[in-house]
C-alpha cells in the first residue's frame, strides 16, 4: 500500500473496529455517578465552571470544571438521551488514539511500532468502563490534555504545554504527574533544564501540596493513605489489571533489564507516575483508572516492537486482542443488564414526577442493586427537579418519620420484573392495623430497623420498630415469621420479644425453620395509634459476605 494512504486507512479500520466492538454502549444508560453529576450540574451557572477553571485551587469536593462541564452542556442538549454522551466519549477516545500516534512519531518509532502501540491502547478491556460509562469522561479528558501537554513540550511550545497541563489537571487530578513526566523526558531523551520546567513543576507542586493537606488522613474513599498494606493492595490490583492476568503487570518492571531503550524507560516511568496518585487512594480501585497510564505502556509496546520486530509481536497481540474481545462480551452483558434496570427505574421516576406535582416526600423502600445511594438521590433530584423534595431511606436506622401532613410516595423496586411500584399516601390517610410485606406495604409505618423486602417477607435489624392503628376491642397481636434453615443452623434458636405501646406481650423461641405464626394475647385498650417493637436475640450474621446484623424475617404483623 502507498505509504501516503497507510495511516488514513489504518485509522479508518481502527475506528470501524472500535465502533463494532463498542456499539452496544449506545444501548446503555447512566450510572449512579452520572445521575449525580447530571442532577447537580443542571442548576449550575456557566460562570462557576469558568471560575473553577482559572482558580489555582484543589477542590476537596472533587469539582473538576472541564469534566463537569461535559455533563452541564450535554445535560442541557440531550437530557436523559444516553447516546450523545457516549458519542462524545468515543470521539474523545479516538482523539487520544490520534494524539498517541503523534507522540510515538515524535519519539521516532517506525510505522509498524506506532500501529501496535496504538492498537494496544485502543481496545484494552481493563478500561472497558471508560468506553461505556460517561462517569469516566474525567479520565478520558485528562488523557487528551495530558498527551497534548507532552506533545507541545516536545515541540518546544512551552506556554501552550503549560495551558494543556492546567486543563488536564482541571479534568482530573492524575495530571499532577505531568511536570514530572516532562522532567523525565528531558532527563532521558532531551536536555534537562529545571529553569525551563519551573512553571510546570511549580504548578504541580502547588496542587500536590494542597491535596496532601486537604485529603491526607481523611476517611472515606477519597482519603489519601500510604501504608505498606494499602500500597500493596493498590499496586497488586493494578498489576493484575494491566495485562488482564493475575500479577502479570509485575513483569513490566523487568523490561528495562532486557531492552536498553530510553524511550521504553520513559514510557514505563510515565505510566507509573500517571498511576501514582491512585496508589494513594485504596478506597477507589477501578480498572478504568488505568486509561491514562496505558498511554505510557503504549510507548513500551512500540519500543518492544522496534526491538524484536513487528512479526514477533503481531501474533501474540492478535491473540491478546481476541482475549480482550471475549472479556468485553462478559462485561457488556453485565453492563447492559444493569443499565436496563437503571433506565426502567429512572424513566418510572420521571413519569411519577410529571404526574405527582404535589409529592413533597419520597420514602425509598428499595432500588436497583447497581444504583448506589447517591445515584438514587441524583435520579430523584434530576427527575423531580425541586428544592423541597424530602428523601427518606427506610433502611436508615436513624431515619426520621415522614411528616403526617406530607404527600408521600413510597418507591419499591421489583428486581425480577424490572418494575418500580410507587404507592402514594395522601396526607389524610390513616395508619393500618395489620401490615403484610407485599409491594403495597404501607412502609411509612415501619419506623426503625427494617431492610428491603425480599419476596413476601422483610428482614429486621436486631431491634425494629413500627406504628399501627389499634382497633377498638383488639385483644390479640399476631406476627408471622419466615425462619430459614441457614438461620437455625447458624444461631440454633432465636427468641422474638414483642412490645406494644410499651407493654411487653411476651416472647417466643423458634427452634425450627418454616413460615410460623404466633399470637400474643393482650388486654383491651383504647383505639388509636401505638408503637410496636420487635427484639430478636441472638442477631444473625450471614456467611455470604453480607455485612448486616440481622434480626428476624417478618412476613406480617398486626392486630386481630
Q: What is the pLDDT of residues 421-435, one digit of tens each?
A: 888 876 556 788 999
Q: How high is the pLDDT of residue 3?
A: 66
Q: What does the pLDDT look like over 517-548, one tens digit per residue?
A: 999 999 888 888 999 999 999 998 887 777 88
pTM equals 0.84
At residue 219 the predicted structure's pLDDT band, cuts being 50, 70 and 90, is: low
Give the C-alpha distances (Å, rounded to integers) separating 415 from 338, 340, 369, 456: 11, 11, 8, 14
CA distance 99 to 113: 15
pLDDT band at 216 (very low <50, low <70, confident <90, very high): low
**Which pLDDT belongs to residue 183?**
94
More confident residue, 108 or 231: 108
Q: Rounded distance, CA 123 to CA 18, Å?
A: 7
Q: Where are the domains of the chain?
A: 25-308, 431-560
Given a cut of 60, is residue 151 above it in pLDDT? yes
Output the pLDDT for position 221.
61
What gap in Å lies between CA 459 and CA 35, rounded to an integer? Answer: 29
pLDDT band of 230, cuts 50, 70, 90: confident
Span 50-76, pLDDT tens digits = 999 998 888 877 889 999 999 999 999
C-alpha cell at 92: 474523545
Predicted local confidence at residue 452, as pLDDT = 87
Residue 192, all three cell numbers? 534537562
Q: How confident is the model at residue 296 (pLDDT cuts 50, 70, 90)?
A: very high
Please give the residue that has the higher pLDDT: either 512 or 281. Answer: 512
Q: Which residues share a beta bridge with 224?
A: 216
Q: Is the pLDDT of residue 255 over 60?
A: yes
Lowest-confidence pick of 243-257, 327-341, 365-379, 464-478 = 243-257
- Supply the pLDDT for residue 141: 97
Q: CB of 244 within 8 A of CB of 125? A: yes
Residue 472 has pLDDT above 90, yes or no: no
User: Is the pLDDT assigned to residue 415 strictly greater than 90?
Assistant: no
Question: Between these two residues, 209 and 463, which has the higher pLDDT value?
Answer: 463
CATH H superfamily, domain 431-560: Galactose-binding domain-like (2.60.120.260)
- Give the helix/strand (H/E) hosting 558: strand 553-559
Separation of CA 352 from chain center: 25
At 457, the pLDDT band (50, 70, 90 cuts) reads: very high
* Polymer length of the chain: 560
Q: What percent of the chain has pLDDT over 70?
A: 96
Residue 445 φ then ψ, to 5°:
-85, -10
Widest Cα–Cα separation across the chain: 97
Out of 141-150, 220-229, 304-313, least confident range: 220-229
Residue 531's pLDDT is 94
What pLDDT, on the 0 to 100 scale, is given for residue 320?
83
pLDDT digits (tens, 9 = 90+) for 340-372: 999 999 999 999 999 888 888 998 988 998 888
Amino acid at each position: 500500500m502507498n505509504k501516503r494512504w497507510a495511516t488514513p486507512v489504518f485509522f479508518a479500520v481502527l475506528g470501524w473496529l472500535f465502533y463494532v466492538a463498542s456499539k452496544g454502549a449506545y444501548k446503555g444508560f447512566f450510572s449512579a455517578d452520572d445521575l449525580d453529576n447530571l442532577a447537580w450540574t443542571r442548576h449550575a451557572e456557566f460562570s462557576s465552571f469558568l471560575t473553577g477553571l482559572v482558580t489555582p485551587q484543589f477542590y476537596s469536593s472533587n469539582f473538576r470544571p472541564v469534566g463537569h462541564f461535559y455533563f452541564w452542556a450535554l445535560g442541557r442538549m440531550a437530557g436523559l438521551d444516553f447516546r450523545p454522551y457516549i458519542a462524545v466519549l468515543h470521539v474523545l477516545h479516538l482523539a487520544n488514539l490520534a494524539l498517541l500516534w503523534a507522540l510515538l512519531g515524535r519519539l521516532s518509532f517506525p510505522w509498524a511500532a506506532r500501529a501496535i502501540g496504538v492498537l494496544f491502547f485502543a481496545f484494552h478491556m481493563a478500561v472497558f468502563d471508560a468506553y461505556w460509562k460517561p462517569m469516566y469522561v474525567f479520565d478520558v479528558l485528562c488523557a487528551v490534555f495530558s498527551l497534548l501537554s507532552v506533545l507541545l513540550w516536545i515541540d518546544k511550545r512551552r506556554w501552550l504545554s503549560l495551558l494543556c497541563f492546567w486543563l488536564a489537571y482541571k479534568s482530573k487530578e492524575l495530571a499532577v504527574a505531568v511536570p514530572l513526566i516532562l522532567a523525565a523526558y528531558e532527563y532521558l531523551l532531551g536536555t534537562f533544564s529545571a529553569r525551563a520546567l519551573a512553571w510546570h513543576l511549580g504548578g504541580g507542586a502547588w496542587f500536590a501540596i494542597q491535596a496532601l493537606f486537604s485529603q491526607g488522613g481523611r476517611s472515606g474513599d477519597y482519603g489519601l493513605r500510604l501504608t505498606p498494606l494499602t500500597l500493596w493492595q493498590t499496586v497488586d490490583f493494578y498489576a493484575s489489571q494491566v495485562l488482564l492476568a493475575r500479577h502479570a503487570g509485575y513483569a513490566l518492571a523487568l523490561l528495562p533489564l532486557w531492552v536498553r531503550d530510553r524511550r521504553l524507560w520513559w514510557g514505563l516511568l510515565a505510566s507509573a507516575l500517571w498511576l501514582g496518585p491512585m496508589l494513594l487512594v485504596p478506597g477507589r480501585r477501578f480498572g478504568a483508572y488505568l486509561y491514562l497510564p496505558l498511554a505510557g505502556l503504549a510507548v513500551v509496546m512500540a519500543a518492544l516492537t522496534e526491538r524484536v520486530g513487528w512479526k514477533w509481536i503481531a501474533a501474540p497481540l492478535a491473540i491478546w486482542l481476541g482475549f480482550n474481545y471475549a472479556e468485553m462480551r462478559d462485561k457488556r452483558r453485565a453492563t447492559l443488564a444493569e443499565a436496563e434496570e437503571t433506565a426502567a427505574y429512572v424513566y418510572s421516576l420521571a413519569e411519577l414526577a410529571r404526574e405527582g406535582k404535589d409529592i413533597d416526600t419520597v420514602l425509598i423502600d428499595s432500588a436497583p442493586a447497581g444504583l448506589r445511594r447517591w445515584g438514587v438521590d441524583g435520579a430523584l433530584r434530576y427527575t423531580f427537579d425541586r428544592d423541597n423534595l424530602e428523601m427518606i431511606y427506610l433502611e436508615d436506622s436513624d431515619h426520621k418519620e415522614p411528616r403526617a401532613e406530607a404527600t408521600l410516595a413510597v418507591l419499591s423496586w421489583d428486581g425480577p420484573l424490572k418494575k418500580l411500584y410507587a404507592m402514594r399516601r395522601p396526607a389524610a390517610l390513616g395508619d393500618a392495623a395489620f401490615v403484610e410485606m407485599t409491594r403495597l406495604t404501607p412502609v411509612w409505618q415501619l419506623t426503625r430497623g427494617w431492610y428491603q423486602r425480599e419476596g413476601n417477607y422483610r428482614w429486621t435489624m436486631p431491634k425494629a420498630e413500627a406504628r399501627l392503628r389499634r382497633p377498638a376491642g383488639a385483644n390479640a397481636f399476631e406476627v408471622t415469621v419466615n425462619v430459614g434453615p441457614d438461620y437455625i443452623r447458624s444461631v440454633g434458636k432465636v427468641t422474638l420479644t414483642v412490645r406494644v405501646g410499651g407493654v411487653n406481650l411476651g416472647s417466643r423461641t423458634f427452634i425450627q425453620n418454616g413460615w410460623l405464626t404466633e399470637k400474643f394475647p393482650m388486654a383491651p385498650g383504647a383505639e388509636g395509634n401505638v408503637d410496636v417493637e420487635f427484639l430478636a436475640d441472638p442477631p444473625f450474621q450471614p456467611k455470604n459476605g453480607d455485612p448486616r446484623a440481622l434480626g428476624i424475617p417478618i412476613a406480617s404483623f398486626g392486630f386481630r
